[in-house]
Structure 1
Amino acid sequence: MGSASSVLTQYDIEEVQEHCSNLFSQQEIVSLYQRFCQLDRNAKGFISADEFLSVPEFAMNPLSQRLLKMVDGLNFKDFVAFLSAFSGKATTQQKIEFIFKVYDSDNNGKVSFNDILEVLRDLSGSFMSDEQREKVLRQVLQEAGYSKESYLMLDDFIKLEGKKKKIVGGMDVYIHGI
């Protein structure tokens, strides 16, 4: 697994499976490795942001710039770990953890009002004004017992799963194109 041109051994496959909580079968890991090798055009053993942008669905994604921060320089093992949130076997907890990472673009372990507002801006584009986005976000946060000054931690995201759907429910549509 050192370079993208190498062949996966049974040990490599099992190691990746374990790293990804066994969310992918061995055959799925082999298929993901083939895709990884296609994206890793220079056979460096990792995928750059530019290589990710060669996937049209990824490039067109309104959250692509946020996602690029998460994927730039991934080796195969981490590439599969990144994709594990999209597995049909992933738990709700794993999906929420992934979404939290998308919002927490500075990796400080907390999400601010402005972090959420930026994602809403990316998702809604010109369909909503900044004032409309802020109004909706304030209302959702208020209903959940938070304010504009609150910082949400991962535990808060987990608690807010139902109410949060008003904010991020459509996000899955935008991040599936990888």
Structure 2
Amino acid sequence: MQFTQPVYVKREDPDSRVNTIKEISRRAQSKGEWPQVIIFPEGTCTNRSCLITFKPGAFYPGQPVQPVCIRYPNKFDTITWTWEGPGAFTLLWLTLCQFHNYMEIEYLPVYYPTPEDKQDAKVFANHVRDKMAECLKCPITDHTYDDCRLMVRAAKLNLPMATGLVEFHKLHKKLGISFAQMHDHLEKFRKITDNKAGSITIKEFAMYLRLPVSSTLQEIFDTYDRNSSGTIDFREYIIGLSLVSGPANTEDTIKLAFQLFDSENNGYITEDGLTTILHNAFGMNKDDVHELFEDADKDKDGKISYDEFQQQAADKPDYAKIFVAYQNMVNKNGHPEPAQEENQKAKTE
């Protein structure tokens, strides 16, 4: 490695990334001291079925680049080494078992950056990627190495690795979610779902929120289920939290919800008061309400304070839409009246 004079990178370290960009720029602008610098812009291994997002490091200097496309036109693919599939030694053995191993290297014309490319390294990277994808006759995708990191984390949580493929950088750009937040959301997602498909069903969603399946809950579930598949995958869950529950989960919403549940203005919520409201509003039985109350009553003093209520809303932001639904119900009809004994018995049955 020392002989090839590489630029060392620690992917997770922001300082290392900055230093890498500086070193690439220094070499690219050395006026002949470094004739060429070779960079693999995807930054990770793929199965070559598409080109993933190019990292912008090679394009920050704003210098001309020469795209190079590599093909492996063998009958059997023993070259691909990715996060899932055979390991390195298995692939080496399979490669040695073939009489011939072909590799094609095609040098494309030098790409000279436009003024727009020089202003934005990501635009520059995308233009070069488009040229290479056209040559290779393969599609492009917005996945990055961070998606690979999420895949590995998903596997450790006993989820399908594909669960982590969410086009992280696109979500980061549009929703402002950091990788650490995405990591935390993946762990919450795992707590909700327990099926092998790595997606949330309406029953699992209801169990997570300790609510019965109702038209109100189904409506909220459908706002997450963007492709109407009947389940919520991790990407849909992230978008739902950001665009559905997040905006609704404001301090004003929490305060108003707390006031509605604290119908007697005690400054806290009792289990009896919570049972009455949730039973009549959402059809919850006493056992479900008790579990929900115990979960929210952190100090186990038999009542939910505003701080505990606020913490529960922060831990499970999905409740925000439930709060909004209940507030709309109250605004329309006033506090729901207690159900008649016959209706309670019918619901229980």
Query: What's the TM-score once normalised by structure 1's chain length?
Result: 0.40
Larger Rg belongs to: 2
Indicate the structure with greater helix content. 1
User: Normalising to structure 2: TM-score of the pair?
Assistant: 0.23
